[in-house]
Amino acid sequence: MAKIKTIGILTSGGDAPGMNAAIRAVTRAGIYNGFDIKAVYRGYDGLITNDIRPFTTENVSGIIGQGGTILKTARSKEFATEEGRKKAYDNLVAAGIDALVVIGGNGSLTGAMKIAQEFDICCIGLPGTIDNDLYGTDNTIGYDTTMNTIVECVDRIRDTAQSHERIFFVEVMGRDAGFLAQNSAIASGAEAAIIPEDSTDVDQLARFMERGIRKSKRSCIVIVSESPKCGAMYYADRVRKEFPDYDVRVSILGHLQRGGRPSARDRILASRTGVGAVEAIMQGQRNIMVGVRNNEVVYVPLSEAIRSDKPFDRKLIKVLDELSI
Ligand code: F6P
């Protein structure tokens, strides 16, 4: 295998707080260890359009605390095609990039795995998504910050919910995973969470209403995982029809969950995994994601990282149930 001299970095998919800290870590650790760094702008689209620029340590000064991504990001349709990936590979070769670090979520790491399989290029993934749905790492970069943002929002919603004695359905992001919903519900003292991991087993709304929504409380907050069909609006409409005595409101938190300064935890996770990515390259690792499990930096094959069945600890459901009486 030829010696790696130049590392490319890109961010892809939904931005997540802490991505900048990860860009900084890969850039600085790369330069420290003698690599050249090239930044790819606008995710995989930038690889296809050749939006690639040399990066120095100054390029990443002062960004550790900034939300979003200074490299911009995109959900590239063209990269999903074989022709798109060929163009991207040709531009990687022309730029002299022999290892590519991709910071992103499930779709982005799937893209990294594909280009690595089709062409002779070393790809290293960093888990950058608020959804926390990547397998093999306890947390993803951005998850902790988003959780804190949700909790702050719910604290505010509780003030008005209590004042008016209303039921609030608060919809949070997470795509197909309920990590954000379940844990933010516990952290904000919400009365219930409706999550995809539980949706096939029970009618979660019925279970919650049967438990006695207002046994001891005159207002309540239900955190609902986003879903195209069964989001917060769906449950609010059901309560309006099935329990017309209740005064119901919906709050969809939306993209404000993705913005903001990254928490200390996310900055540390980004810094550790960024340094881990450069170490992995030096060790000759290929096509892995760098994560942290049980406080240890770990390398997870990309094919495993993108598995859709990251374990969800069902004891969390019990914790919320018991504490929301
Ligand atoms: O994957 C991150 C995420 O924020 C999901 O939670 C959400 O479903 C999706 O991205 C929204 O994507 P977009 O910003 O492209 O609408």
Q: Which domains does the chain have, with CATH numbers?
A: 4-140+261-305 (3.40.50.450), 142-257 (3.40.50.460)
**What's the pLDDT score for residue 200?**
62
C-alpha–C-alpha distance, residues 155 and 253, integer Å: 13
Active-site residue, from 45, 131, 198, 266: 131
Report which ligand 1 atom has the smallest distance to the Cα of 175: 8
**What's the pLDDT score for residue 231?**
95
**What's the pLDDT score for residue 78?**
98
Kind and range of the H or E run holding 82: helix 82-94
**What's the pLDDT score for residue 198?**
86
C-alpha–C-alpha distance, residues 183 and 150, integer Å: 10
Q: Which residues are annotated as a binding site for ATP?
A: 14, 75-76, 105-108
**What's the pLDDT score for residue 43?**
98
Q: What is the side-by-side order of every strand in the sheet holding 220-225?
A: 192-194, 220-225, 167-172, 248-252
C-alpha–C-alpha distance, residues 26 and 18, integer Å: 13
Helix (H, G, I), strand (E, B) or coil at 299: strand
Helix (H, G, I), strand (E, B) or coil at 2: coil
Cα of 160 from ligand 1 centre, angstroms: 27
Q: What is the side-by-side order of every strand in the sheet holding 6-11?
A: 52-55, 36-40, 6-11, 99-104, 122-127, 288-293, 296-301
Residue of the CA atom closest to atom 1 of ligand 1: 14
Query: Residue type for 89, please?
Result: Y
CB 126 within 8 A of CB 21: no
Cα of 158 from ligand 1 centre, angstroms: 25
φ and ψ of 217, to 5 deg: -125, 150
Tokens of 289: 């994601």
Catalytic residue check, 131: yes
Cα of 193 from ligand 1 centre, angstroms: 19
Instruction: Note down pLDDT in tens along the chain; length 325 residues.
Output: 679 999 999 999 999 999 999 999 999 999 999 999 999 999 999 999 999 999 999 999 999 999 999 999 999 999 999 999 999 999 999 999 999 999 999 999 999 999 999 998 999 999 999 999 999 999 999 999 999 999 999 999 999 999 999 999 999 999 999 999 999 999 999 999 999 998 765 688 887 777 766 556 778 999 999 999 899 999 999 999 998 989 999 999 999 999 999 999 999 999 999 999 999 999 999 999 999 999 999 999 999 999 999 999 999 999 999 998 8
**What's the pLDDT score for residue 70?**
98
**What's the pLDDT score for residue 262?**
98
φ and ψ of 98, to 5 deg: -110, -5
Residue of the CA atom closest to atom 14 of ligand 1: 14
DSSP 96-120: T--EEEEEE-HHHHHHHHHHHHHSS
Q: What are the start-end ranges of the E strands in the chain?
A: 6-11, 36-40, 52-55, 99-104, 122-127, 167-172, 192-194, 220-225, 248-252, 288-293, 296-301
Tokens of 32: 């420290």
CB 123 within 8 A of CB 302: yes
C-alpha–C-alpha distance, residues 60 and 316, integer Å: 38
**What's the pLDDT score for residue 77?**
97
CA neighbor of 44 nearest in space, from 104, 97, 96: 104
- Terminal CA-to-CA distance of the chain, rounded, Å? 60
**What's the pLDDT score for residue 203?**
82
**What's the pLDDT score for residue 201?**
58
CA neighbor of 222 nearest in space, from 260, 15, 243, 144: 243
Residue of the CA atom closest to atom 15 of ligand 1: 14
